Amino acid sequence: MVDGTRPASPLLHLLDNVHPLHEDEFVFAAMLSGWRDQQVSRGLAASTVTSRILFIRRFADYCDKLPWQWIPGDVEDFTVHCSSGEGRLAKSTIRAYQARIRVFCDFITDTRYDWIEQCQKRFGYIPQQICHEWNTTAHIADYEGRPERRALTYDELDEFFGTADARVETIIQSGKKGALAALRDTPIFKTVYAFGLRRAEAVGLDIADLRPNPSASRFGNYGSVDVRWGKGSNGSGPRRRTILALPEFDWAIDGLRQWVELGRMRVTNERRGALWPTERGTRVSLRYLDDRFAEIRDGAGLPKELSLHSLRHSYVTNLIEWGYSEKFVQDQVGHLYASTTAIYTSVGSDYKNRVIARALSRVYGDHNAHL
């Protein structure tokens, strides 16, 4: 120990009087081990902790320096690297990377640990906070996603699902393999749209996650979906929520029912387990869904900027257009903040015109509502 203070790491304490062959790597590993313990103690998900550890190692490799030698210019150089070239990263991703560097530097410069003393004694350098307000990406806009990402129009939705349905018939008539997969893919995309799901939420669904809703008995066992793999925040791990089936999507719910009761048994004999199994007994993958969506999108002649996530945007937009309250929509899609739901909303001209017509009718009377 140093000056009677608590050691930065039990590992350093055990070898305080021993000089490892590669002392710099030894201390860096001890730093990461201590940081891992701190994050686990905070209750962060194991996947979040692991990804942060791996990133800090990657950042150290990029700098070709260890943490007690880092300077603010290293963050700036790394940010320029991430922002340049064909593989440049989104601004939100860069900000997340900078946040990881900041919290790690907070840990190794925290006086409640003795990393500063250890580094001074061993290497003659002390770690510093290299992220500050002048070299990190500010969050100055509510939405930083790609501007071209949007909801599908009603005509585009008709084209997409019409092409998906026709694809099944085409494969069957051609006698080629893949008919069962196509039969499964169509209700997947309809379910994603009908319940506003994220990709991972759809992939993670089990048969047991389909539940009745006493207030909507007409849907039977398909009145709600229990999402167990919802997107978490700040390393919290998956967040659960229940999504209610809505009457505007009864056609999609009928497709889900047909898949569960007729189609799925042709893929697997298991009555439990994954809602969307493959012929090999595994779940469909995220990559698979992206590829199939792109195939159907291109077959329908739709713009290439539309992605599977656009169906979730469409769900939010359509619910607002149909008159559902913002709070209800927010709860359905699992957003913590109403501002996030607002980002997803891109209502069409018809909806705006109806709002204006109602306002004119309220103020001037029905006779002048058309003005």
- Residue 148 confidence (pLDDT): 60
Q: Is the same domain home to 15 and 93? A: yes
Q: Is the same domain home to 19 and 74? A: yes
Question: Among the options 198, 283, 292, 297, which is catalytic?
Answer: 198
Crossing angle for the helix pair 309-321 and 179-195, nearest 10 degrees?
40
- Residue 4 confidence (pLDDT): 43
Among 74, 103, 123, the domain boundary falls at 123
For residue 370, tell me if it sits in a domain: no
Query: How far is the C-alpha of 78 from the C-alpha of 59, rounded, in Å?
Result: 8
Share of the chain above pLDDT 70, in %: 81
Q: Is the same domain home to 166 and 42? A: no
CATH number at residue 41: 1.10.150
* C-alpha closest to that of 24 among 107, 105, 119: 119
- Count of Cβ atoms closer than 10 Å to residue 53 Cβ: 17
Question: Among the options 231, 239, 241, 257, which is catalytic?
Answer: 231
Sign of CA dihedral 53, 54, 58, 64: positive
Query: How far is the C-alpha of 11 from the C-alpha of 237, rounded, in Å?
Result: 29
Of 14-18, 106-110, 205-209, 211-215, minimum mean pLDDT range = 14-18
Residue-wise pLDDT for 151-175, tens only, equals 899 999 999 999 999 988 888 777 7
Q: Is the same domain home to 317 and 178? A: yes
Question: Does the annotation mark 198 as catalytic?
Answer: yes
Q: Is the same domain home to 252 and 300? A: yes
Among 101, 123, 145, the domain boundary falls at 123
DSSP 126: -
For residue 371, tell me if it sits in a domain: no
CATH number at residue 289: 1.10.443.10
Among 123, 141, 174, the domain boundary falls at 123
Query: How far is the C-alpha of 69 from the C-alpha of 232, rounded, in Å?
Result: 34
Looking at the predicted structure, is the pLDDT value of residue 3 above 50? no
Query: How far is the C-alpha of 315 from the C-alpha of 195, rounded, in Å?
Result: 7
Residue-wise pLDDT for 287-312, tens only, equals 999 999 999 999 999 999 999 999 99
Q: Is the same domain home to 88 and 230? A: no
Q: Is the same domain home to 195 and 268? A: yes
Strand arrangement, sheet containing 239-244: 210-211, 224-230, 239-244
Residue 333 · residue 315 · CB < 8 Å? yes
For residue 318, tell me if it sits in a domain: yes
Q: Is the same domain home to 174 and 265? A: yes
Q: Is the same domain home to 193 and 328? A: yes
- Residue 281's region, left for phi above 0, alpha for psi from -120 to 50, else beta, is left
- Residue 202 confidence (pLDDT): 95
Crossing angle for the helix pair 179-195 and 286-299, nearest 10 degrees?
90
- Count of Cβ atoms closer than 10 Å to residue 14 Cβ: 10
Q: Which pLDDT band, with edges at 50, 70 and 90, does 1 fall under?
A: very low
Question: Does the annotation mark 370 as catalytic?
Answer: no
Average pLDDT, the chain: 85
**Model confidence, pTM:** 0.67
Looking at the predicted structure, is the pLDDT value of residue 343 above 90? no
For residue 357, tell me if it sits in a domain: no
Q: Is the same domain home to 105 and 167? A: no
- DSSP-based three-state secondary structure for 202: helix
Question: Does the annotation mark 125 as catalytic?
Answer: no
- Residue 78 confidence (pLDDT): 95
Query: How far is the C-alpha of 356 from the C-alpha of 46, rounded, in Å?
Result: 50
Q: Which pLDDT band, with edges at 50, 70 and 90, does 358 fall under?
A: low
Helix H or strand E segment including 171: helix 154-174
Q: Which pLDDT band, with edges at 50, 70 and 90, does 149 fall under?
A: confident
Q: Is the same domain home to 178 and 113? A: no
Residue-wise pLDDT for 232-275, tens only, equals 666 566 788 999 999 999 999 999 999 999 989 988 888 899 99
Residue 159 · residue 301 · CB < 8 Å? yes
Q: Is the same domain home to 317 and 219? A: yes
Question: Does the annotation mark 335 as catalytic?
Answer: yes
Looking at the predicted structure, is the pLDDT value of residue 86 above 60? yes
Question: Among the options 122, 309, 324, 351, which is catalytic?
Answer: 309
- Residue 147 confidence (pLDDT): 58
For residue 145, tell me if it sits in a domain: no
Query: How far is the C-alpha of 124 from the C-alpha of 116, rounded, in Å?
Result: 10
For residue 31, tell me if it sits in a domain: yes
* C-alpha closest to that of 311 among 236, 202, 184, 218: 202
Task: Tell me how far CA of residue 257 lies from CA of 113, 175, 191, 211, 246, in angstroms.
Answer: 57, 26, 10, 12, 15
For residue 361, tell me if it sits in a domain: no
Domain tally, the chain:
2
- Residue 369 confidence (pLDDT): 47
- Residue 351 confidence (pLDDT): 60
Across 317-336, average pLDDT: 89
Residue-wise pLDDT for 30-61, tens only, equals 999 999 999 999 888 888 899 999 999 999 99
Which of 144 and 147 is assigned the larger pLDDT? 147
Side chain identity at 214, as an amino acid letter? P
Across 128-132, average pLDDT: 95
Helix H or strand E segment including 241: strand 239-244
Q: Which pLDDT band, with edges at 50, 70 and 90, does 280 fall under?
A: confident
Question: Among the options 113, 193, 315, 344, which is catalytic?
Answer: 344
Cα-based torsion angle of the residue sequence 11, 16, 20, 22 in order, rounded to the nearest 10 degrees: 80
Which of 137 and 126 is assigned the larger pLDDT? 126
Which residues, in sequence order, are CB contacts of 332 under 8 Å at separation 6+? Answer: 195, 196, 243, 244, 319
For residue 368, tell me if it sits in a domain: no
Question: Does the annotation mark 231 as catalytic?
Answer: yes
Side chain identity at 250, as an amino acid letter? D
Question: Among the options 102, 239, 335, 351, which is catalytic?
Answer: 335
DSSP 69: G
- Residue 340 confidence (pLDDT): 65
Q: At 189, list the tokens.
A: 């995309």
Question: Among the options 312, 352, 358, 370, which is catalytic?
Answer: 312
Q: Which domain holds residue 85?
A: 10-123
Crossing angle for the helix pair 72-83 and 91-108, nearest 10 degrees?
160
Query: How far is the C-alpha of 190 from the C-alpha of 314, rounded, in Å?
Result: 12
Residue-wise pLDDT for 169-197, tens only, equals 888 777 777 788 888 999 999 999 999 99
